[in-house]
Amino acid sequence: MINNKNIFVACDTSNLKKIKNIIAETKSKKLKIIPKFGLQFFYSKNGRKYLETFKKDFWLDLKINDIPQTALSAINSLKDLKRCKFITAHANGGLIMLKAVKKEAKKINKNLKVLVVTVLTSLNNKSLKDIGHTKSVRNIVLKQVELIRKSGCDGVVCSAQEAKLIRKKHKNLFIVTPGIRLPNDKLNDQVRVMTPQNAFKNKVSGIVIGRSITKGNIKMNVKRLINHLSK
């Protein structure tokens, strides 16, 4: 069964016409597809307005990371987005901020889930060393997960490489993995990547897939994904 897997399609463009095309072309009875809107679209002239009347569940990927009061105020400002089912905060904001975000999210919409971003999939051990970290990606992510669990937030966003380790320790945690590419597709700016099939073998709860679906013939790319997951 592949229609019970959470497939989040990254709608990374500020062009409303392209967004509408992605939404239309990714409709599928064989897959559970949920659009993910990030900073590029949300900050665009028509992005926020479009989401106000959006008729389906969606993920708003804002990666909120600020002092607690500003973070919870940001969540409160989204209360009119009735079909927003997932929102992201960043683990770097710390425990108090994450608790504030979760509390405010529950207040404005009991169905709104807070997913917490760990180390971005565009980073590797060298990148972290350049920033000033002394621990590896794996160790930092595992430490962040403990923080996320304490905060009461609903899930984590991490690469599929760390997901396998996290799942061993946290059997029921909602784990979503970006950095997903169909076989033989270009990696672009991603470093820690994996195919959809291998990600689900690592027992993730959902995957984020962008350019492998949204570049070129979208309907054909969706068929490629279906065939890939059906093997």
pLDDT band, residue 231 (cuts 50/70/90): confident
Number of domains in the chain: 1
Burial of 168 (0-12, 13-18, 19+ CB in 10 A): exposed
Residue 1 located in a structural domain = no
Count of helix runs (H) and strand runs (E) in the chain: 11, 8
Supply the pLDDT for residue 187: 65
What pTM, to 2 d.p., does this model score? 0.93
Out of 27, 29, 49, 63, the active site residue is 63
> What's the pLDDT tens digit per position in 11-27?
999 999 999 999 999 99
Round to whole Å and give the CA distance between 217 and 44.
Answer: 24
Q: What is the dihedral of CA 193, 197, 203, 209, to 10 degrees?
A: 50
Residue 104 located in a structural domain = yes
pLDDT band, residue 190 (cuts 50/70/90): low
Does the annotation mark 150 as catalytic?
no
DSSP assigned state of 83? T
Q: Quick one: which H or E segment has residue 113? A: strand 113-117
Supply the pLDDT for residue 1: 62
99, pLDDT greater than 90: yes
Residue 11 located in a structural domain = yes
**What CATH number has the domain bearing residue 85?**
3.20.20.70
Domain residues for the domain of 204 are 6-230
